[in-house]
Structure 1
Amino acid sequence: MKASPQMQSRLLDLLDLDTRLTQLDHQLRTLPELVDIARLEAAEADLRAEVVRTETAVSDLQREVAKAEAAVQQVRDRAARDQARLDAGTGTSKSLQGLQHELASLERRQGVLEDEQLEVMERVEAAQGSADRAARAHAEHAERLTSLRAQRDEKAARISAEREEVAHGRPAVVADLSAELLALYDRVRAHSGTGAAPLVQRRCGGCRLDLNAVDLSRIRNAPEDEVLRCEECGRVLVRTSESGL
């Protein structure tokens, strides 16, 4: 294959552009925020579930409190009615004595129910503390996740803008290459990651290996317009003023 030295030199310009594009793509894929975002997103469901669990526990206990309050109030109401009947003094001596016994029993029952009510209220307080902590943990988690996403988006936008700018200059370089040379470059690039490499100080800039004497002699004697390939990595070798030939 033949190509002018100027055309071959443009391969190095294309190499620089494509190398920078590859670097920018790698930066986009490996933003440090992505790891933390993935970790926080994975934990999101567990934190949300903990909020729901603790809030449900509080609601269940609050229903127990309401039930306990109703039971205490029922005993109080019954005691108030009995006390009113006793104070009125109506009825036989036996019935009045029965009311006194019932009032004593109701007082004991009220004490038991109030103790149970207090115990449930203490459980509600503890459960509410757990719910509050779960809510705070979820809120802090969400705030951190929002901040990381904002940082990711800001960095990604900056890198994408640079990538767009770099990619914008590629067509002009490609236009200076023959279709045959570009096809070779793209084919080698698909296989090796880069399609061309400068020859600097008798070393391939792609695989970083020194050329042997036979290859150097071949390159030294090759016409300027001959497209050369590295025997080791297959990249297109572009001769430069620093090739050391």
Structure 2
Amino acid sequence: MNAAPADQIRLLDLQALDTRLGQLAHKRRSLPEHAEIASLEADLTQHRDLLVAAQTEESDTAREQTKAEQDVDQVRQRAARDQQRLDTGVGMSAKDLENLQREVASLAKRQGDLEDVVLEVMERRESAQERVTELTGRVGSVQAKVDDAVARRDAALAEIDAEAASVTKEREIVAASVPADLLKLYDRLREKQGGIGAARLNQRRCEGCRLELDITELNEVRAAAPDQVVRCENCSRILVRTNESGL
């Protein structure tokens, strides 16, 4: 393939732009905020799960407290009715009064036991409420950190994308000035050779593979016409000759 030396040198400008686009893409993928957000979101999920568990426990103990208080109230009402009957004693035999006294005493003990249950449930509910309050604060704190990291990531991405858009436009201009067949070869080699399709021959060394040409390869390049597109024997990339090639 033949191409004017100026068109071949223009490939170096194109390669520099493509290299910068590759660097920007890598920078975009490897922003430290990505890992920071992933870690914070994992913490946030864990804290939210703990919060849901605490809220569930608080809700369960609230229902349990209501039930226990209802049990106490039922026993208290029954005891009050029995005590009223005992106080009046109308139409009751001595044996009935004795039985009623025993029932009142039994209900008093039952009421005491149930009130102890209410106190125990209230303590557990209070503990659950404190846990809910604590975890709510933690979730809010971690969420704030996530929001901050997301804002920093988005700002960094916007900056990268703006530069990438600018470089892409510049690349389009440069690529339009390169002959179609040369551009096609360059793009094919760039895709095959890890993003580098053209490399400068600098002081007898290919800047693509970083290897120095041996004497036979160097003589072949020297003998090539200025408009001949030469390739590196080691990496197959287009070798662009300049005044610094050492030929």
User: Shift in Å at residue 71 of structure 1?
Assistant: 1.0
Letter in 1 for 2:138: A
Counterpart of 1:53 in structure 2 is 53
The amino acid of 1:80's aligned partner reads A
In structure 2, the partner of 1:180 is: 181
Give how far 1:27 is off: 0.9
- TM-score, scaled relative to structure 1: 0.92
Match in the other structure for 2:190: 189
Alignment partner, residue 237 of structure 2? 235
Which residues in structure 2 correspond to 1:97-108 (within 5 Å)? 97-108=98-109
Aligned AA (2:78): R
How far, CA to CA, are the matches of 2:20 and 2:10 in structure 1? 15
Question: Which segments of 5 or more consecutive residues in structure 2 lack a partner in the other structure?
Answer: none
Aligned partner letter, 1:121 = M
Shift of 1:69: 0.5
Which residue does the alignment assign to 1:200?
A: 202
**Alpha-carbon shift at residue 42 of structure 1 (Å):** 4.5
Aligned to 1:28: 28
Local SS of the residue matching 2:210: coil
Q: After TM superposition, which residue ranges in structure 1, 4 or more long, deviate above 6 angstroms? A: none
CA distance in 2, matches of 1:175, 1:79: 99
2:232 and 2:15 map into 1 onto residues whose CA distance is 15
Q: How far apart, in 1, do the equivalents of 2:67 and 2:39 lie?
A: 43
Aligned AA (2:153): R
State the match for 1:217 in structure 2: 219
Distance 2:175 2:165 in 1: 16
Q: Which amino acid aligns with 1:37?
A: I
Alignment partner of 1:238: what SS? strand
Paired letter, 1:26: H
State the alpha-carbon separation in 1 of the partners of residues 54 and 20 from structure 2: 51
- 232-241 or 33-42, which deviates more: 33-42
Task: Find the counterpart in structure 1 of residue 17 from structure 2.
Answer: 17
Give the superposed CA RMSD: 1.9
> Is 1:88 aligned to residue 78 of structure 2?
no
The TM-score with structure 2 as length reference comes to: 0.91
Residue type at the aligned position of 2:32:
P
Match of 1:140 in 2: 141
Distance, in Å, in 1 between the alignment partners of 2:145 and 2:81 is: 60
User: Offset of 1:86 from its aligned partner?
Assistant: 3.1
Where 2:239 maps in the other structure, the secondary structure is: strand
State the alpha-carbon separation in 1 of the partners of residues 180 and 70 from structure 2. 90
Partner AA of 2:75 in structure 1: V
Give, in whole Å, the separation in 2 of the partners of 1:73 and 1:172.
87
Q: In 1, Cα distance between the equivalents of 2:113 and 2:148?
A: 53
For 1:33-63, what per-residue CA distance to the aligned partner results, in whole angstroms no more than 9, with x for missing partners? Answer: 1123233445554443332222122111111
Cα deviation, 1:52-106, whole Å, max 9, x if unaligned, reads 2221221111111111101111121122222333333434352333333222222
5+ residue gaps, structure 1, are none
State the distance in 2 between where 1:179 and 1:215 align.
27
Alignment of 1:57-136 (within 5 A): 57-92=57-92, 94=94, 95-136=96-137
Q: Distance in 2 between matches of 1:77 and 1:124?
A: 26
Measured in 2, the distance between the counterparts of 1:208 and 1:238 equals: 14
State how far apart, in whole Å, the 2-side matches of 1:111 and 1:171 are. 87
Structure 2 match to 1:38: 38
Identical pairs, percent: 51
